[in-house]
């Protein structure tokens, strides 16, 4: 029995299982019985261990409370947030397709208003309106053009951590927010996948793949879509505290595993059967046709992990000299590092030998210290985690001496002057505390002023859109939200300088 418990451990935080009174009694008075209402585990001992930390460390109680409160609030406003997103997307595209407000008025008077069509090649996401850049920086010595034609100035140097490769990764991460028809017009597109999340009961995980050339490619890029601004499910996933423990590997954020299609909490045994198995078992699973078998073939067919892995193997076989990069911004960054993590677990050594690097931007924490130590030994500095200034998302979920979520990998931290340094952990790793509050707001004012003058100082390619300026204004309320936006990461890569570190072309 003890061995079985050790091999199958998980904790699920369920905000809907208790009320406000239960939450207050747990949070204010430390009533563990009320706190237990919100927790569901693989066995009672898991919950007891979790609640024992509440007594030892008051921060741990705060962590669970914040997770519950934020998920309740986000779910409460989920539909209004979704409707707002649809309206904002529509209005932004309506204005851009009709040459902004004056053009819209003129077209209206002439009866020539262009109506946006969601999913079309001209329908751009809110992220795309905030930052419309799609080309790589031409000032890098080893840059290449990744448009559909084969005009290549000079092939990119395939070196993990290379500045040009970081630029390519960030642009791919930003493009992941667009629909497939937009992406097809930009690069040697391979495929775009809308993958199933059984917990959310919808296709809410998006990922696309492209190569640097149609034939004899040297580089394959896998880019996961990040947290969408108006998607409540994405934000709920970011604030989730639930975990699944994989023996010898470590504890992993359950919401991110669900986003990859590697299980779902309504049937916790699905994690065990989809993750804790051998490489041969999975290969057999991918070829079986009998839907009545008990190894979740429908999950294998629709999940992001298995879909991407299947296509990646095919591409690596087709392009014998190619290496691959996995990347993503925000939630996409979490999925980007978990993808090779599961490849390691499944002993996909031939695939991993051709992994060039993992580049993430504004990525939340994905697991505990044990997971980090294990993966650092396997990736051997092929994993670069970039953090810009006060970005709130890399500070999630909360981390302290007893809390399980820890960052790992090489952290490249850039401040608001685009001065970077290699660190183990970004400053103010939890984004809380009065000591940091005033500097955060002062910095938000500076970023707004800086944004208004970016074009004059650095050139037209750095001029911020009016949508970007509005985003900066939002930072005056919550600085960490505006700091999370992709323009900060693109500008840090292109304008930034790293101190006391020698890395490739930096």
Residue 454 structure tokens: 């970016």
Query: Of the ranges 332-336, 373-377, 499-503, which one carries the lowest mean pLDDT score?
Result: 499-503
Contact (CB, 8 A) for 253 and 240: yes
Q: How many whole angstroms separate alpha carbon 484 and alpha carbon 471?
A: 10
Residues 6+ apart with CB under 8 A from 346: 277, 278, 279, 282
- Tell me the pLDDT tens digit for each residue of 452-474: 999 999 999 999 999 999 999 99
SS3 content of the chain, % helix, strand, coil (to 5): 50, 15, 35
Residues in the chain: 506
Could you give the 3-state DSSP secondary structure of residue 369?
helix
Query: Of the ranges 90-99, 196-205, 240-249, 427-436, which one carries the lowest mean pLDDT score?
Result: 427-436
Residues 6+ apart with CB under 8 A from 439: none
pLDDT at 6 (0 to 100):
57
Q: Is 330 considered catalytic here?
A: yes
Q: How many whole angstroms separate alpha carbon 298 and alpha carbon 17?
A: 29
| DSSP secondary structure of 420-453 | EEEESS-SSTT---HHHHHHHHHHHHHHHHHHHH
Of residues 50 and 105, more confidence is placed in 105
* E strand spans, 120-279: 188-197, 202-211, 219-224, 243-246, 250-253
- Tell me the pLDDT tens digit for each residue of 392-441: 999 888 787 666 789 999 899 999 999 999 888 888 887 766 677 888 89
Cα(first)–Cα(last) distance of the chain, in Å?
54
Q: Catalytic one among 223, 270, 330, 492?
A: 330
Closest CA to 388 of 470, 473, 483, 481: 483
pLDDT at 55 (0 to 100):
63
Q: How confident is the model at residue 146 (pLDDT cuts 50, 70, 90)?
A: very low
- Tell me the pLDDT tens digit for each residue of 75-130: 899 999 999 999 999 999 999 999 999 999 999 999 999 999 999 999 999 999 99
Q: Catalytic one among 60, 359, 407, 484?
A: 484
Highest mean pLDDT among 34-48, 290-304, 356-370: 356-370
With a cut of 60, say whether residue 207 has pLDDT above it: yes
Contact (CB, 8 A) for 382 and 357: yes
Closest CA to 358 of 197, 223, 192, 187: 223
Q: Catalytic one among 167, 212, 245, 391?
A: 391
pLDDT at 160 (0 to 100):
52
Query: What phi-psi label fits residue 402: left (phi over 0), alpha (psi between -120 and 50 degrees) or beta?
Result: alpha
Query: What phi-psi label fits residue 248: left (phi over 0), alpha (psi between -120 and 50 degrees) or beta?
Result: left
Tokens 């969408």 -> residue: 228
Contact (CB, 8 A) for 397 and 435: no
Residues 6+ apart with CB under 8 A from 444: 390, 472, 475, 476, 479, 482, 483
Q: How confident is the model at residue 503 (pLDDT cuts 50, 70, 90)?
A: very low
DSSP lists the bridge partners of residue 194 as 206
DSSP lists the bridge partners of residue 221 as 210, 325
pLDDT at 308 (0 to 100):
96
Q: How many whole angstroms separate alpha carbon 295 and alpha carbon 287?
A: 12
Tokens 């910095």 -> residue: 443
Q: How confident is the model at residue 200 (pLDDT cuts 50, 70, 90)?
A: confident
pLDDT at 470 (0 to 100):
94
Q: Which of 417-443 are b and which e, b meaning 16 or more Cβ less than 10 Å from the residue's Cβ?
A: ebebebeeebebbbbeeeebeeebbeb
């Amino acid at each position: 029995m003890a061995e079985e418990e050790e091999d199958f451990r998980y904790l699920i935080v369920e905000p809907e299982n208790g009320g406000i009174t239960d939450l207050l009694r747990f949070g204010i008075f430390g009533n563990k019985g009320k706190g237990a209402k919100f927790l569901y585990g693989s066995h009672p001992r898991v919950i007891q261990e979790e609640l024992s930390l509440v007594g030892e460390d008051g921060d741990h109680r705060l962590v669970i409370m914040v997770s519950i409160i934020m998920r309740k609030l986000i779910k409460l406003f989920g539909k209004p947030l979704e409707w707002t997103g649809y309206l904002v997307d529509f209005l932004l595209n309506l204005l851009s397709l009709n040459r902004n407000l004056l053009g819209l008025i003129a077209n209206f008077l002439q009866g020539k208003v262009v109506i946006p069509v969601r999913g079309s090649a001209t329908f751009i996401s809110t992220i795309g309106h905030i930052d419309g850049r799609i080309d790589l920086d031409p000032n890098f010595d080893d840059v290449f053009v990744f448009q559909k034609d084969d005009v290549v100035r000079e092939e990119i140097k395939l070196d993990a951590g290379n500045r040009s490769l970081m630029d390519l990764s960030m642009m791919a991460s930003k493009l992941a927010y667009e629909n497939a028809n937009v992406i097809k017009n930009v690069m040697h597109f391979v495929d775009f996948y809308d993958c199933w999340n059984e917990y959310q009961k919808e296709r809410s995980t998006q990922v696309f793949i492209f190569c640097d050339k149609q034939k004899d490619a040297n580089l394959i890029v896998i880019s996961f879509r990040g947290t969408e601004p108006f998607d409540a499910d994405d934000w709920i996933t970011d604030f989730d505290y639930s975990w699944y423990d994989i023996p010898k590997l470590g504890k992993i954020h359950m919401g991110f595993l669900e986003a990859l299609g590697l299980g779902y909490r309504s049937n916790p045994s699905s994690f065990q059967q989809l993750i804790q198995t051998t490489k041969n078992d999975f290969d057999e699973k991918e070829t079986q046709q009998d839907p009545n078998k008990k190894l979740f073939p429908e999950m294998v067919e629709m999940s992001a992990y298995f879909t991407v892995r299947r296509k990646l193997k095919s591409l690596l076989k087709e392009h014998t000299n190619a290496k691959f990069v996995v990347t993503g911004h925000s939630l996409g960054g979490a999925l980007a590092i978990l993808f090779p993590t599961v490849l390691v677990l499944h002993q996909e050594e031939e695939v991993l030998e051709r992994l060039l690097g993992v580049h993430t931007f504004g990525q939340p924490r994905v697991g505990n210290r044990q997971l980090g130590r294990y993966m650092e030994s396997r990736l051997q500095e092929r994993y670069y985690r970039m953090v810009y200034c006060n970005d709130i998302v890399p500070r999630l979920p909360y981390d302290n001496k007893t809390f399980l979520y820890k960052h790992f990998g090489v952290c490249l931290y850039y401040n608001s002057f685009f001065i970077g340094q290699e660190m183990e952990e970004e400053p103010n790793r939890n984004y809380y505390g009065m000591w940091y509050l005033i500097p955060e707001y002062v910095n938000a004012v500076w970023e707004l002023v800086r944004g208004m003058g970016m074009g004059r100082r650095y050139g037209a390619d750095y001029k911020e859109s009016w949508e970007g300026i509005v985003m900066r204004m939002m930072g005056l309320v919550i600085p960490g939200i505006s700091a999370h936006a992709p323009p900060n990461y693109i500008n840090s890569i292109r304008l930034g300088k790293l101190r006391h570190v020698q890395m490739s072309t930096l």
